[in-house]
Amino acid sequence: MAPSSSTLCFLFLLGIFSSTFTSSFTEIGARVEGSGRIRRRTLMDNGLGLTPQMGWNSWNHFHCDINETLIKETADAMVSTGLSAVGYIYINLDDCWGELNRDSQGNLVPKASSFPSGIKALADYAHSKGLKLGIYSDAGTQTCSKTMPGSLGHEEQDAKTFALWGVDYLKYDNCEDTGGLSPKERYPKMSEALLNSGRPMFFSLCEWGQEDPATWAPSIGNSWRTTGDIEDNWDSMTGIADQNDQWASYAKPGAWNDPDMLEVGNGGMTTEEYRCHFSIWALAKAPLLIGCDVRSMDNVTFELVANKEVIDVNQDKLGVQGKKVKKEGDLEVWAGPLANNMVAVVLWNRGSSSANITAYWSDIGLKPSTVVDCRDLWAHSTETGVEDEISAEVDSHACKMYTLKPHTNRDRS
- Residue whose CB is less far from ligand GAL, 56 or 402: 56
CA distance 40 to 201: 12
229 contacts ligand GAL (rule: CB under 6 A)? yes
Instruction: Give the residue closest to ligand GAL by C-beta.
Output: 144
145 contacts ligand GAL (rule: CB under 6 A)? yes
CB of 281 vs ligand GAL, minimal distance in Å: 15
Buried b (16+ CB within 10 A) or exposed e, 56-88: bbbbbbbebebbbebbbebbebbeebebbebbb
Report which secondary-structure segment, H or E, holds 260: none
Is 168 one of the catalytic residues? Answer: no
- Residue whose CB is less far from ligand GAL, 93 or 194: 93
Q: Are 263 and 269 in contact (CB under 8 A)?
A: yes
Is 65 one of the catalytic residues? Answer: no
What is the x/- site pattern for ligand GAL, positions 92-131, by CB under 6 A?
--xx------------------------------------
Helices (H), 67-182: 68-80, 118-128, 155-165
The dihedrals phi and psi of 6, each to the nearest 5 degrees, come to -70, -35
CB of 1 vs ligand GAL, minimal distance in Å: 50
Q: Which of 206, 217, 264, 390 is the binder for ligand GAL (CB under 6 A)?
A: 206
Closest to 355 in 3D by CA, of 363, 365, 347: 347
Give the binding range for ligand GAL (CB under 6 A) out of 15-23, 143-151, 308-316, 378-386. Answer: 143-151
Helices (H), 200-357: 234-245, 271-283, 299-305, 308-314
- Residue whose CB is less far from ligand GAL, 240 or 344: 240
Give the binding range for ligand GAL (CB under 6 A) out of 30-38, 114-122, 139-147, 382-390. Answer: 139-147
- Residue whose CB is less far from ligand GAL, 206 or 394: 206
CA distances from 56 to 14, 18, 99, 276, 291 (A): 32, 29, 23, 19, 6
- Residue whose CB is less far from ligand GAL, 37 or 63: 63
Which residues make Cβ contacts (< 8 Å) with residue 408, sequence separation at least 6?
none
59 contacts ligand GAL (rule: CB under 6 A)? yes
- Residue whose CB is less far from ligand GAL, 134 or 200: 134
CB of 372 vs ligand GAL, minimal distance in Å: 39
Q: Are 222 and 204 in contact (CB under 8 A)?
A: yes
Q: Which of 173, 245, 258, 332 is the binder for ligand GAL (CB under 6 A)?
A: 173
Residues interacting with ligand GAL, by CB under 6 A? 59, 94-95, 143-145, 173, 175, 206, 229
Q: Which residues are catalytic?
A: 173, 229
